[in-house]
Amino acid sequence: MLSEKIEHALSAQIRIEAESSQIYLAMACWAEHRGLEGVSQFMYRQSDEERQHMLKLIKFVNERGGLAHISELKAPNVSFSSFKEMFQELFDHEMFVSKSINNLVHIALQEQDYATHNFLQWYVAEQIEEEAMARTILDKIKMIGDDKGGLYLFDRDIQQLTITSSVSPATN
């Protein structure tokens, strides 16, 4: 059974994950409108992934005897001055999500809710991957600079971007 404090904190994270999905969706629309097909496809996939993160939290809360709270969402930014600004916002947002997940882990330990602590470890590992991905993208954007040919290649290549984190399970 979830404590009221844990249930409230997890419901707050549900909202963050839902807003993350909306942020990526807005970025996908912005990129698609500018002909950045690779970037838009990448962002659509990320939006779907964030929605899955939200659903996983909802199921966990409900399975543990709580009631997941579905709240209103803050409207995402829909306008960016450049794709570099957009990806910087993505990185900043992922850092915010990581901080929120770490706070949830802290609360779970304070409440001595080891089942929730164990569940949250998946999110901790996921955020390491998300941060690494965002950092890699920003590094690539810095290499491109203002080169339009580089932007073309970046847009094409981002469709296949995969980051293997140090915490990912080994594949054989």
Domains of the chain: 4-160 (1.20.1260.10)
Q: Do residues 165 and 125 make contact, with C-beta atoms less than 8 angstroms apart?
A: yes
131 is in an annotated binding site: no
63 marked among binding-site residues: no
Instruction: Please indicate if the annotation marks 85 as binding a ligand.
Output: no
Is the model's pTM score more than 0.85?
yes
Find out whether 57 and 17 touch, Cβ atoms under 8 Å: yes
pLDDT (tens digit, 9 = 90+) per residue, 120-156? 999 999 999 999 999 999 999 999 888 878 888 888 8
The reply to whether 130 sits in an annotated binding site is: no
| Per-residue DSSP letter, 170 | P
Residues 85 and 117: their CA atoms lie apart, in Å, by 34
